[in-house]
């Protein structure tokens, strides 16, 4: 159990007892002392078993997964611990109230203890490497409060014959000969080796250099390209093996995915109503009296075509305008042929520009989600004319329902070219899990709020 984990236990323990007292005082539910103690023990046992206090979480999405698992486990385990005759309607109501408030508070506790006590519990980190991998790793560390990794500097390994393009700050870069003094002066307790191309001999030398000097040593293995299968690292009697677990039956996850789609579809329809009014008024003010929505044939699951709903974000006759533009300007033709879109498209309306920047032009697709033609999360819904361009990726991409958002939307959106979108969508299919959907959903929300990579 980590130091910050013990702090979180103490804070949540205090909150648990205050909440129990509040439920008693408000007469929402009455638990005698013995029951309250048992519930408290069960709650923290479940949190510990799931691993919430071990300090291994590096991303917000991992923390959310542990929170959901631990609180759902606590809720259902309580029905196994206490006999059915124990549960009255008042106690059941109070217990649901208790579980929801514990879940919400635990989320805030995890978020803000990492933020407020970061200086006290952070891990001073040294990254070995000065190239693009090291820079990307440092960027993730800086933007991720859950990891508590505070990068103090970088190590250049030129003396090992490894020459990398210097991407990170030279002011924060040291040589291998300076490692000992740097670890001591900056109180380094974690080393991250970010040179995937390292030979085994050099990797072993680095382990020897840092062992007994820091508490944690981690390294990034070499992976050529994007791994496009569901991977799991297994210890095979001392040999690390990467296994493919895509074929495992995930009927429970599929049920959860459809339930999430139905809930999202209903919520989306409610938001769709005022949004449609806004688009209608905006278009009419600009003299655009064309239809608000338009439908377009897209490739669905197993290659079956369906009509996808979207807001009309372009002027009427956009296809004819595009043909004229491509005929007059070879650069535009090349850009559209490669990316299937234009970076600065002159056909987009004022309302359409706003809708695209905030990804709100996709909202009518919630109708498709409710109809079961699409999912909230999934591959991009491709056009029938793009089938030939999809090539070898086609079978994997159409093996699942297309989504309103997915891998490519949450990993760059308009900054991702057509080929890379296909790679990301294939990755989604081969690595799909309910938790991947949850992760992509949160990433998409961040993209919408900050507007990065929008079209």
Helix/strand/coil percentages in the chain, nearest 5: 60, 15, 30
**Lowest pLDDT segment from 38-42, 218-222, 276-280:** 218-222
CA–CA distance, 14 with 423 (Å, rounded to integer): 48
Q: What is the pLDDT of residues 255-273, one digit of tens each?
A: 888 988 998 889 888 888 9
Residue 369: the pLDDT is 93
For residues 375-390, one letter each, b for 16 or more C-beta atoms within 10 angstroms of the residue's C-beta and e for the rest, the string is bbbbbbbbeeeeeebb
Q: What is the pLDDT of residues 280-333, one digit of tens each?
A: 888 888 777 788 888 889 999 999 999 999 888 887 777 777 777 777 878 877
- Decide if 405 contacts 363 (C-beta within 8 A): no
**Length of the chain (residues):** 455
* Residue 217 backbone phi and psi in degrees, to 5: -125, 125
- Decide if 402 contacts 375 (C-beta within 8 A): yes
Residue 454: the pLDDT is 43
**On the CB side of 177, how many CA atoms lie within 13 Å of its CA?**
2
- pTM of this structure: 0.60
Please tell me which residue, 196 or 232, carries the higher pLDDT value. 196
- Decide if 358 contacts 448 (C-beta within 8 A): yes
The angle subtended at Cα 53 by Cα 51 and Cα 57, nearest 5°, is 70
Could you give all domains of the chain from N- to C-terminal order, each with its CATH number?
A: 3-118 (no CATH), 122-222 (3.40.50.720), 251-313+348-450 (no CATH)
Residue 241 bridge partners (DSSP): 234
Q: Among 6, 39, 45, which Cα is nearest to 20's? A: 39
223 pLDDT band (50/70/90 cuts)?
low
Mean pLDDT for the chain?
Answer: 81
Please tell me which residue, 10 or 207, carries the higher pLDDT value. 10
What is the Cα gyration radius of the chain?
26
Characterise 237 by phi-psi region: left (phi > 0), alpha (psi -120 to 50), beta (else): left
- Decide if 227 contacts 245 (C-beta within 8 A): no
Residue 306: the pLDDT is 93
- Decide if 57 contacts 63 (C-beta within 8 A): yes
């Amino acid at each position: 159990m980590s130091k910050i984990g013990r702090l979180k236990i103490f804070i949540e323990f205090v909150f648990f007892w205050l909440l129990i007292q509040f439920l008693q005082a408000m007469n929402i539910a009455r638990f005698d002392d013995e029951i309250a103690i048992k519930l408290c023990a069960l709650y923290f046992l479940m949190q510990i078993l799931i691993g919430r206090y071990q300090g291994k979480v590096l991303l917000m999405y991992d923390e959310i997964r542990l929170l959901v698992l631990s609180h759902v486990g606590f809720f259902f385990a309580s029905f196994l611990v206490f006999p059915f005759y124990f549960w009255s309607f008042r106690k059941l109501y109070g217990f649901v109230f208790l579980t929801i408030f514990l879940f919400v508070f635990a989320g805030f506790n995890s978020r803000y203890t990492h933020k407020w006590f970061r200086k006290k519990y952070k891990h001073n980190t040294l990254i070995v490497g000065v190239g693009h991998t090291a820079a990307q790793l440092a960027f993730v560390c800086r933007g991720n409060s859950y990891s508590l990794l505070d990068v103090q500097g970088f190590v250049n390994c030129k003396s090992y014959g490894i020459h990398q393009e210097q991407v990170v700050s030279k002011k924060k870069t040291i040589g291998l000969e300076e490692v000992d003094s740097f670890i001591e002066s900056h109180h380094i307790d974690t080393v991250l080796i970010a040179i995937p191309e390292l030979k085994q001999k050099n990797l072993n030398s680095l382990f020897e250099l840092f062992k007994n000097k820091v508490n944690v040593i981690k390294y990034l293995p070499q992976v050529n390209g994007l791994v496009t299968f569901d991977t799991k690292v297994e210890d095979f009697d001392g040999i690390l093996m990467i296994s493919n677990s895509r074929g495992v039956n995930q009927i429970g996850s599929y049920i959860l995915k459809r339930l999430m789609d139905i809930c999202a579809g209903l919520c989306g329809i409610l938001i769709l109503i005022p949004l449609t009014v806004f688009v209608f008024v905006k278009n009419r003010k600009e003299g655009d009296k064309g239809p608000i929505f338009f439908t377009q044939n897209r490739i669905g699951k197993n290659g079956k075509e369906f009509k996808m709903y979207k807001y009309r974000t372009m002027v009427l006759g956009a296809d004819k305008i595009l043909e004229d533009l491509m005929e007059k300007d070879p650069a535009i033709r090349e850009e559209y042929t490669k990316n299937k879109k234009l970076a600065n498209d002159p056909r987009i309306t004022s309302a359409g520009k706003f809708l695209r920047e905030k990804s709100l032009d996709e909202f009518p697709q919630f109708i498709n989600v409710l109809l079961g033609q699409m999912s909230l999360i999934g591959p991009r819904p491709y056009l029938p004319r793009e089938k030939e361009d999809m090539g070898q990726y086609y079978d994997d991409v159409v093996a699942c329902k297309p989504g309103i958002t997915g891998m490519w939307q949450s990993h760059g959106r308009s900054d991702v070219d057509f080929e890379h979108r296909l790679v990301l969508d294939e990755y989604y299919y081969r690595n799909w899990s309910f938790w991947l959907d949850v992760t992509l959903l949160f990433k998409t929300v961040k993209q919408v709020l900050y507007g990065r990579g929008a079209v």
